[in-house]
C-alpha cells in the first residue's frame, strides 16, 4: 500500500494516520497559524499530483489542506485509494468537508483539524508541500525519519536546502503581485540548509521532488568468491541525506582497496568500487542490491582473470552504538562536545562549543539542541545553525555575527571511532556602525575549510 501526503499553502497543521473509515477528526491544539493560507491554483494541483505519480494504490495526505482541493483532486482525478487533509483553520475544515461531500468523495476523503508539526504521517509515500523554506527545514528531519524508503516529497515553490532534488518542473506563470523574501546570505551555497535554487517565485511555479532514501551509512561486510576462496568485501558508506560516498577493501591476496561511487534510490543501492591504484575495468567491482534494515542483498560482478563473474551477494552492517558524549578540538583548541541520545525511539543531540564567546544574554558554551539530525544506521548527519534564537527555523530569529553560521557534519562509526567530515560556514563580518557586510567579506558565507572529522568518546 502506498500513501501520499500533501501540504498545500495554508496554516501549518498536522495529522495522525486515519482509520480505515474516513470520519471527521479534530485534534487541534492552541497552536497559532504561522503560515498564511494561499490557495494553490488548480492547474498547479494537477501538476503536483502528477509529479508525485499518484495512482490507485495511493492515499493522499494534504497537510495544510486549506479548502481541500488537493485531497479532492487526488481521489476524483487521480483515483487515489483515499485522501486525508489536515488543516488548523476551523472554517476551512468545515468548507473542505462540505466540498468533499458535494463532489461525492466523502467516503474516501477525511479532513483532520490539527497541526502538522506534531502529528504522525509515517505511512505516507508522497508528501506535497507548499509552506515556506523555514517550514520545510523544520519538517525535513521528520520526513526522512518517519517515511519509508521510496516515499516522495513534492514541494511547490520552496526547497529543502542542501538536500539535492531528484526531479524539478518549472512553469512560467502570471505575475502574482506584491512579493518579498528575507535576505539570505547563504542562498547560493549548496552545502547548507539555507541553499535556495528556486527561480523567481513572483512569476514562476517551481515544483520539486525528493526521494526518501534508506539509511545506508555504516560498515557493510559480505563474502565474495575469489580464486583462493571466499574473501570479505568491506564497504564503508557515508550518507548526507541523498548523497552517499564511501570506500571499499577486498581482503584477498592483493588487498585491493579504493573509493566507492554510490547511487541510492529508495532502498535500491548500486556501488561501483574503483581501486585506488588501477583504472582498469577488470579491477573494478560492481554491487547492486536492496537494503532492508541492516541487511543488503542483491548481486555482484567482478573480473577473475578473463572471466566476468556474476554472483548473488549479501552483506550485513556492523552494529553501531554512537550514543554518548563525543569530543573534538575546535578552532581555538578548546573542546567541542556533541552528546547523542535516543529518546522515544529517535536520535537526539546537543552541542556545546567552548570556543564560542559568551554574550550578554546567553551563555554560548551551554549545550544547544541539534534540531536537524539524521540517523542513517551506522552513522549520522546533522546541521546546526549557531546564532538561532528560538525553538525552530520558523519560530526563531537569527544573529548574524562572524561566529554565527552553519555547522554541518557527518560521521560513521568504524572500529569504535566516529570518523567523517565537518565544516563551518560563518556569516560575513559586518560593520559595527551600520551592520552592513564589509566589502572584503562579501562572499564569507560561501567558502570555508572542510576538514576530516574524528571524534573521541568521553565520559559523561
Shared domain check, 331 and 248: no
Q: How many domains in the chain?
A: 3
Q: CA dihedral in degrees (155, 158, 163, 165; nearest 10)?
A: 60
Shared domain check, 387 and 448: yes
How high is the pLDDT of residue 29? Answer: 57
Shared domain check, 202 and 81: yes
Give the separation between CA 64 and CA 130, rounded to whole angstroms: 8
Residue 407, SS3?
Answer: strand
CB atoms within 10 A of CB 161: 25
CATH code (residue 97): 3.40.50.150
Shared domain check, 251 and 106: no
Q: Which of 184, 211, 238 is the last residue of a domain?
A: 211
C-beta separation of 406 from 384 below 8 A: yes
% the chain with pLDDT above 90: 50
Residue 134, SS3?
Answer: helix
Shared domain check, 160 and 295: no
Which 8-state DSSP code applies to residue 377? B
Q: Considering only residues 279 and 220, tell me which one the structure prediction assigns the higher pLDDT.
A: 220
Give the separation between CA 197 and CA 170, rounded to whole angstroms: 12
Shared domain check, 142 and 73: yes
Helix-strand-coil percent breakdown of the chain, rounded to 5? 10, 45, 45
Shared domain check, 373 and 275: no
> What band does 9 get if pLDDT is binned at 50, 70 and 90?
very low
Q: Considering only residues 29 and 257, tell me which one the structure prediction assigns the higher pLDDT.
A: 257
Shared domain check, 331 and 223: no
Give the separation between CA 445 and CA 428, rounded to whole angstroms: 6
pLDDT tens track for 211-230:
999 999 999 999 988 777 78
Distance in Å from the first CA to the final CA of the chain? 44
CATH code (residue 266): 2.40.128.120
Q: Which domain holds residue 293?
A: 218-317
Shared domain check, 395 and 294: no
pLDDT tens track for 146-204:
999 999 899 999 999 999 999 999 988 876 655 566 678 899 999 999 999 887 777 88
With residue 384 as reference, give the H or E element that holds it.
Answer: strand 379-386
Shared domain check, 368 and 287: no
Q: What is the mean pLDDT of residues 18-27?
A: 49
Q: CA dihedral in degrees (213, 218, 219, 224; nearest 10)?
A: 0
Amino acid at each position: 500500500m502506498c500513501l501520499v501526503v500533501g501540504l498545500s499553502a495554508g496554516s501549518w497543521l498536522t495529522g495522525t494516520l486515519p482509520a480505515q473509515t474516513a470520519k471527521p477528526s479534530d485534534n487541534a491544539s492552541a497552536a497559532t497559524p504561522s503560515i498564511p493560507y494561499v490557495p494553490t491554483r488548480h492547474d498547479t494541483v494537477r501538476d503536483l499530483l502528477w509529479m508525485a505519480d499518484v495512482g490507485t494504490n495511493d492515499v493522499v495526505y494534504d497537510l495544510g489542506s486549506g479548502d481541500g482541493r488537493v485531497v479532492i483532486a487526488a481521489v476524483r482525478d487521480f483515483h487515489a485509494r483515499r485522501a486525508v487533509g489536515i488543516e488548523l483553520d476551523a472554517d476551512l475544515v468545515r468548507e473542505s468537508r462540505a466540498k468533499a461531500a458535494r463532489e461525492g468523495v466523502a467516503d474516501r476523503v477525511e479532513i483532520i483539524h490539527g497541526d502538522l508539526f506534531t502529528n504522525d504521517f509515517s505511512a505516507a509515500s508522497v508528501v506535497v508541500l507548499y509552506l515556506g523554506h523555514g517550514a520545510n527545514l523544520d519538517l525535513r528531519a521528520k520526513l526522512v525519519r518517519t517515511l519509508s524508503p521510496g516515499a516522495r516529497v513534492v514541494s511547490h515553490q520552496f526547497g529543502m536546502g542542501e538536500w539535492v532534488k531528484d526531479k524539478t518542473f518549472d512553469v512560467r506563470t502570471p505575475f502574482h503581485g506584491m512579493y518579498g523574501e528575507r535576505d539570505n546570505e547563504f542562498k547560493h551555497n549548496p552545502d547548507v540548509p539555507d541553499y535556495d535554487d528556486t527561480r523567481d517565485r513572483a512569476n514562476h511555479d517551481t515544483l520539486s521532488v525528493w526521494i526518501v532514501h534508506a539509511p545506508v551509512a555504516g560498515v557493510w561486510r559480505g563474502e565474495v568468491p575469489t580464486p583462493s576462496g571466499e574473501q570479505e568485501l568491506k564497504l564503508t558508506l557515508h550518507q548526507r541525506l541523498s548523497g552517499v560516498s564511501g570506500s571499499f577493501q577486498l581482503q584477498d591476496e592483493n588487498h585491493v582497496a579504493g573509493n566507492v561511487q554510490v547511487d541510492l534510490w529508495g532502498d535500491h543501492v548500486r556501488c561501483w568500487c574503483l581501486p585506488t591504484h588501477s583504472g582498469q575495468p577488470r579491477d573494478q567491482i560492481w554491487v547492486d542490491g536492496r537494503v532492508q534494515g541492516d541487511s543488503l542483498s542483491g548481486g555482484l560482478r567482478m573480473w577473475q582473470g578473463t572471466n566476468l563473474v556474476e554472483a548473488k551477494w549479501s552483506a550485513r552492517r556492523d552494529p553501531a552504538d554512537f550514543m554518548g558524549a563525543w569530543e573534538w578540538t575546535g578552532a581555538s583548541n578548546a573542546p567541542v562536545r556533541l552528546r547523542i541520545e535516543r529518546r522515544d525511539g529517535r536520535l537526539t543531540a546537543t552541542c556545546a562549543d567552548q570556543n564560542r564567546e559568551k554574550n550578554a544574554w546567553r551563555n554560548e558554551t551551554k549545550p544547544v539542541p541539534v534540531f536537524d539530525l539524521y540517523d542513517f544506521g551506522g552513522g549520522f548527519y546533522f546541521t546546526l545553525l549557531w546564532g538561532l534564537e528560538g525553538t525552530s527555523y520558523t519560530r526563531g530569529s537569527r544573529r548574524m555575527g562572524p561566529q554565527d553560521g552553519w555547522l554541518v557534519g557527518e560521521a560513521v562509526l568504524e572500529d569504535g571511532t566516529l570518523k567523517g567530515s565537518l565544516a563551518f560556514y560563518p556569516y560575513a563580518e559586518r560593520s559595527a556602525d551600520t551592520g552592513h557586510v564589509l566589502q572584503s567579506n562579501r562572499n564569507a558565507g560561501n567558502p570555508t575549510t572542510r576538514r576530516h572529522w574524528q571524534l573521541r568518546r568521553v565520559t559523561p
